[in-house]
Amino acid sequence: MEIIAFGVQTDERPLLERAFADRHQIRCLDVNLDRDTAPIAHGYEIVTTDVNSELSAEVLQTLFTGGTKLIAQRATGYNNIDLRAAADLGMTVGRVAAYSPYAVAEFAWALALAVDRRVIRAAQRTRLFDFRLDGLMGRDLRGRTVGVVGTGRIGEAFTRIAHGFGMRLLGWDLAENPACRDLGMRYVDRDHLFAESDLITLHVPLTDATRHLVDAAALAAMKDDALLVNTSRGGLVDTAALVRTLKTGRLSGVALDVYEEEAGMFFHDRSLDVVRDDVLARLMTFNNVLVTSHQAYFTADAVGQIIDATLANVEDYLAGRGGANLLVTPGRPPAAER
């Protein structure tokens, strides 16, 4: 069977083609799936998508009309998919329930250290043979407080590294993780975490309840010299409120691997384009802000696991089997409604 894959990165393509080679043909496209590109999938029963593809009711209808029956998303999050519309159409939707948590946790730490120790600013200077230390002073993290928002597999991996740094551990989640408690984590309410933490890192999914979890009130509660890191979903942070906060000179450093309006921007070369997103453009002007393009997951280990899980979802669908990765199957309500 021939499968079409949207949003395939250059480094991802050979891994994807190699994994599917013995079982299926796969057509890899670097464009995201959206209302404009959905007609390309006409005639494909199976479509695999990336996290920045748009699977609205309109797009799903176009796919369904063209013969698509399975959406296999190569990501854990699925806030970009209208699951109710897919269920109404009788489609099957799968995702990757889990992959290497270390990929994201380690990258979150890379970002935290980069903004704390002004690594990007230092590297830019030394390339110009400017070796001054002015404005490069950071802080020891040992003995300071880290607030981990979301203590699942990724949050736990981040916490283990924080424990190695000798940090005081605060956590917030709907359910406590015994492994984090064993490391000395103290679970507190969200407001307490924001107010007490020197470093705040976000590792929760994007839902209606968590959208703009970091809003103007949360930002106002944070220490003036706090560090904020987001490697989860852009919509967790009210970016306009963040810009207003940064304009007052508050927050020592902010590192964002995700952005709430990243679709159509991230994973593309926009260097020659006119930037119409005023919030993003302003955000990029702050010298204590580091923005990367949703790359925390992007290791050979994690991508390989994502591809293996995607292939397993395809095989389960073709064999008529259920699976933990299936969010929607014909005749059953979406996972969130069960």
Active-site positions read 233, 262
What are the respective helix, strand and coil percentages of the chain, to the nearest 5? 35, 15, 50
Amino acid, single-letter form, for residue 8: V
Question: Which has the closest alpha carbon to 33: 13, 56, 65?
Answer: 56
Beta strand segments in the chain, E: 2-5, 25-28, 46-49, 70-73, 92-94, 145-149, 168-172, 186-187, 199-202, 227-230, 253-256, 289-291, 326-328
- Backbone φ, ψ for residue 229 (5° rounding): -125, 130
- Backbone φ, ψ for residue 327 (5° rounding): -85, -35
Question: Which has the closest alpha carbon to 226: 188, 244, 199?
Answer: 199
How far apart CA 267 and CA 137 sit, in angstroms, is: 32
